[in-house]
Structure 1
Amino acid sequence: MIKLGTVTPPLLSGATLASAASVAQAVFWESVDQYWYVCQPDDTAQDMDRLTVSRLTADGALVDKMVVGRAGHGANLGVERDATGVWLWLDGMPSGGWATALARVPYVPNGTADASDPSVVRTPRTGVYRVSATVDPTRRQLIFRWQSNDAASPQATGGIDRYDLAAAAAGRFTPLQTLAYGASGKTLQGYTSLGDHVYHLYGDQGQDNVTATCTDWASGSLLQSQHITAFPGLPYREPEGICVYENSPGDPAATLAFGIAARTDAGVRHLNMARFPHPGTDPWVPVPYNTALYKPNSDNYVPQYRLAGDQVFLHFSLSKADGTAWGQGETLFQLPLRARPDRTQRLLGVVSGAAVTGDTMAVRFEVTPDGKVSVWDERTLAGWIGGDVSFWVC
């Protein structure tokens, strides 16, 4: 379960979207290509009958866009990758500006699609209202939200289903689980699922009521409700979109990212993104190293790390297997993506007292953004070297 507390520094600040017609409604992070997908309802004569999907780099630069016609409000968004490419799950078959079915369309850079074309329409349930969907990439599941009444979200009642994603893509819908919900009294601004929990984002434009919640899939119990203060003071500040945020596919420390939309008086639409801290790791996680070159002091000193929120702790003590001296800038091992710093970190470690008689026992290490841990010392040290209380913020 993700702890809905203090958020990290921004992932995006003031990213400009493809359409100036409306703010973002939904977001999705695709971890293979490291792109943001952002859905906006476009300002056509039919208003909610066309969506613009912007694709942004990890740091918010606009790559391209796609226009999807005969769609709904763009209330949520899912992105699926398979062997043939990237697919969008979004609104289809609009009625009164809201979707009554889903559409699964291939993402075509700077292309178009028809969300009501029978070949792309998917109908998990009939006789429901204001439907939308997203994807849990960690479990390859489609998450489908539906209303049993045609009402605004504060008064909405209905349910959330989860389906096997491959089966749903083929048009087969057998719910793995359904979670009922009642009227929340709050304005829904997005939802997602990560593992055993469903997360919702609520709030209104210009009001200090942005809230994220966590609900248990199995019991339906509300486990957390957290007021979000990220990005204060933005003009027309409005929460819009929440999604799973992985460093890479299969990341066991996946967390959640959420959007806060804003616009200027000139009408330019901006998106701001932040994330909640990564879940911790307990116990320590071993790091692979070259056992032919290096040997630890004991099993307790094999290279290992742990996460506590966004702090990364490193613990190791190694000797050269052949007894030779350490080389200046020699790389000892490489950390996995989720434990790497965003910039080079300098760490202080220790060296065997026998190797530096009459000199300091301190030795310097560096950890680079690609996760390589290297020793830097001009003394051609022999014996063991190690780091025991080193940490940084990922």
Structure 2
Amino acid sequence: MSIGVEGQIDITGPVGKLLHRRKLQNATVMQSFGIDPVTGDIFVLQVVEGGLTLPGESGPRTGAQRAYAGDLAVTRLDQAGAITGHMYLQGFGHGVSMGVEHHDGVSRLWTETASVPMGTNVPEEEKEGYGTAVTHFEFRDGTTIGSGSSQLAEPYRPVAGATNVTCTIDPTTNRVIVRFKSGSMTFESHDLDKARAGDWTAPLARINQPDAHGTFQGYASLGGVLYMLAGNGYSATLDPPGNTWLTAVDWATGAVLDQQFTAAAPGLELREPEGMAVSVRNGVPHLHFGFAGEEPGPRTCTILSLSGAPEVDGVKVLADWQPIPLASGVTADVRAPQGRLISIAGTTVLQLGGGVKGTFDADVRIGTLPDALAPSMATQGSVPRNNSGGVCTARAEANSVRELWLYGGRSTNPITWAQLDNFSAVWR
């Protein structure tokens, strides 16, 4: 497609991965996420699960009570997908969007706050809380704060009576984006430094939200382009490949630049689209969008990536060579196993290299894939092995739970080595 606006990424392009099926602090569906531009830490928002008692509460609350109150959980994960911290936010909202900045040496989270219960044609107890203002605060592991906490910056309300107020950050332009409802849904853009100082008086841009093509699930901003995510999870009435749509909007005019259906990560269970964010890695901008997974739960977090890097000779590198940690009892051969993810002429391919040795007299897990290489559906290929009894190939398989397996070893014909250099398989 023709890319005509600064910050426009081809939303039909090949998709890579940031996180794969990672558990969060709570078992509920992820709502949104943000990425610290310095540390690379990933912060994920959820509505608090039922059954917990937070500090200052007399007893556990149900999930419906948490949703009504607008109580949120924040999970911090490192770039490898490990949980490294959490917070609880009482009375903040639904968590539709968030922003993360690195300021004064710490991660600061930008979120909705001042939650009010909302719902149309539903009993009062079935309403859910949504923010009416935005604020920001330092992430402090293990703490619980309320919407009236002194740790919060002065809340910003775009207009009197605005509802569904949320925000995100564009790290490439140093802007904070605010979305709110006042009659119609509106987006506005502000200078981040001024907003942090409490000066919201001069929006840099303001546009009405165009049709997102379904249930709105998140947004992000990159340069001159606003991106939106819409869709629903798989269900009894929605089969794969689902109904997830990505939309690119011109900040200058409010016009839709592109709107595309995406079938990315088709093998996820549930696969409910949730949240968007932008990051810059090695100077290359990336547009991320998330999916909540697992049915019936606990829910997990998967985050996909669209890279702004150009193709080189028809090849686009989505994840460069990364080491593959080996399982117990498996030894690296001459070169340790590694993998990368590339797109060739529009087809995404997982490539492996290196080799393993040992005494494998049964099918065996030989390693653990980094999240960036993990497929949503198993993929496999034939690889050379020691020639014994005329058998000289084995089958290597990368599965959807980040495992790399080697098949074909038997007690009567064990595999003593296998080379992975010719493994090249379609990745989805």
Q: TM-score, normalised by structure 2?
A: 0.61
Percent identity (aligned): 28
* Matched residue, 2:144: 112
Matched, 1:271 2:297: no
SS at match of 1:276: strand
Q: Which letter does structure 2 place at the counterpart of 1:171?
A: G
Q: How does 1:153-192 map to 2 (within 5 A)?
A: 157-173=184-200, 174-182=202-210, 184=212, 186-192=214-220
Q: Which residue of 1 aligns with 2:255?
A: 221
The answer to whether 1:11 aligns with 2:18 is: yes
Distance (whole Å) between structure 1 residues aligned to residue 10 and residue 79 of structure 2: 23
2:289 maps to 1:258: yes
2:268 corresponds to which of 231, 234, 237: 234
Matched, 1:201 2:229: yes
Supply the distance in 2 between the matched residues of 1:191 and 1:38 (Cα, whole angstroms): 14
Offset at residue 181 of structure 1 (A): 2.2
Query: Is the contact between residue 212 and residue 228 of structure 2 (CA under 8 Å) also seen in structure 1?
Result: no
Q: Is contact 1:277-1:309 (8 Å) kept?
A: no
Q: Is the 8 A contact 2:16 2:306 kept in 1?
A: no
- Deviation track 1:38-80 (CA, whole Å, cap 9, x = no partner) reads 1101134432321111111112111111111111000101012
- Secondary structure of the equivalent of 1:310? strand
Q: For residues 72 and 55 of structure 1, what CA distance do their matches in structure 2 show? A: 19
Counterpart amino acid of residue 219 in structure 1: T
Shift of 1:117: 3.4
Cα offset, 1:259, TM superposition: 0.7
**Counterpart Cα distance in 2 of 1:188 and 1:272:** 18
Find out whether 1:86 has 2:107 as its counterpart.
yes
User: Which of 9, 13, 25 is the equivalent residue of 2:31?
Assistant: 25
Q: Distance in 2 between matches of 1:55 and 1:276?
A: 22
- Aligned residue-pair number: 281
Q: Is the 8 A contact 2:48 2:71 kept in 1?
A: yes
- Report whether the alignment pairs 1:310 with 2:329: no
Which residue is 2:158 aligned to?
125
Q: How far 1:279 sits from its partner (Å)?
A: 3.5
- Does residue 50 in structure 1 map to residue 80 in structure 2? no
- Cα distance change of structure 1 residues 184 and 242 upon mapping to structure 2, 3 Å threshold: closer
TM-score by length of 1: 0.66
* Distance across 2 between alignment mates of 1:308 and 1:137: 29
Q: Quick one: which amino acid aligns to residue 274 of structure 1?
A: L
Q: Deviations over 1:332-352 (max 9, x none)?
A: xxxxxxxxxx99999xxxxxx
Contact persistence 2:210–2:254 (CA under 8 A): no
- How much has 1:94 moved relative to structure 2? 0.6
CA distance in 1, matches of 2:92, 2:185: 21
In 2, distance between residues paired with 1:241 and 1:182?
A: 17
Structure 2 distance, partners of 1:68, 1:115, is 7
The alignment partner of 2:281 has SS state of coil
Q: Distance in 2 between matches of 1:84 and 1:8?
A: 32
Task: Tell me, in whole angstroms, the C-alpha distance in 2 between the residues paired with 1:62 and 1:75.
Answer: 21
Q: Of the two, which has the highest radius of gyration?
A: 1
What SS is found at the alignment partner of 2:307?
coil
**Residues 68 and 114 of structure 1 are in contact (CA less than 8 Å); yes or no, is this contact kept in structure 2?**
yes
Letter in 1 for 2:207: L
* C-alpha separation in 1, matches of 2:352 and 2:265: 27
Structure 1: stretches of 5+ with no match in the other structure: 150-156, 282-305, 313-341, 347-394
